[in-house]
Amino acid sequence: MHVGIDHAVRDQQRRLQAFGEIDRRALAIGLRIALRLVEDVRRVAVVDGAAYLVKAQKVNAGRIGVYGGSYGGFITLMALFTSPDTFAAGAALRPVTDWAHYNHGYTSNILNLPQSDVEAYKRSSPIYFANGLKGALLICHGMVDVNVNFQDTVRLVEKLIELRKENWEVAPYPVEDHGFEREESWADEYKRILKLFVDNLQPDARLTPGKGARRGTN
């Protein structure tokens, strides 16, 4: 969905320029409208999706989790941080935590420059909402990621420590890039995701090493 938003923002910028809107303040107003669109899409994508599951599929509202990689990792963090009562657990894989540290060409087309539009970057970056974390969080990230740098995860970890959050864990993968290549890394990552959801979304079940999930007796 973010690809479509990119095109909409670029088209908006071209039209503003065509009409001679040189004043940067006018362009900033347009970018804030685009940012609101991004926020609305994020809300519809996960929060409204969870509400649908509860209403239409009779899913237990206290047992909903979310996970995703890259942009999906960003969505996962924002969901856990800004809608903490909606999701009990989430796994963010190689997530963007601060758009100011991401690919300049990509982000500047949507949010302008970090130096000139600080508000837009703060409103759209998970690290600034980390205090909202309530559910269990798993972060998985390759340490040689050249797309979303591992530094993004390190900065978020430091923020969670400063906020004295306890219900989170990080799984670093020393030889993996943005897209994992080793079978062992994929297996380890998804084993951790499964355990996260079993432990937090199915409290009456636990994973026994070598035996998969089993029903508790208590």
- What positions carry a catalytic annotation? 70, 145, 178
First to last CA, the chain: 44
Q: Which two tokens stand for residue 129?
A: 């909402």
- Determine which helix (DSSP H) or strand (DSSP E) holds 101, and give its type and residue range: none
Do 104 and 153 contact (CB within 8 A), yes or no? no
**Cβ-proximal residues to 192 (8 Å cutoff; 6+ apart), any chain:** 91, 138, 140, 171
Q: How many CB atoms lie within 10 A of CB 52?
A: 11
**DSSP SS3 for 83:** coil
Q: Which of 11, 86, 88, 101 is nearest to 44 (CA)?
A: 86
* CA-derived radius of gyration, the chain: 19
Instruction: Provide the β-strand partners of residue 90.
Output: 66, 137
> Which position has the token pair 């030889």?
175
By the 10 Å C-beta count (0-12 exposed, 13-18 middle, 19+ buried), 79 is classed as buried
- d(CA 177, CA 13) in angstroms, rounded, equals 33
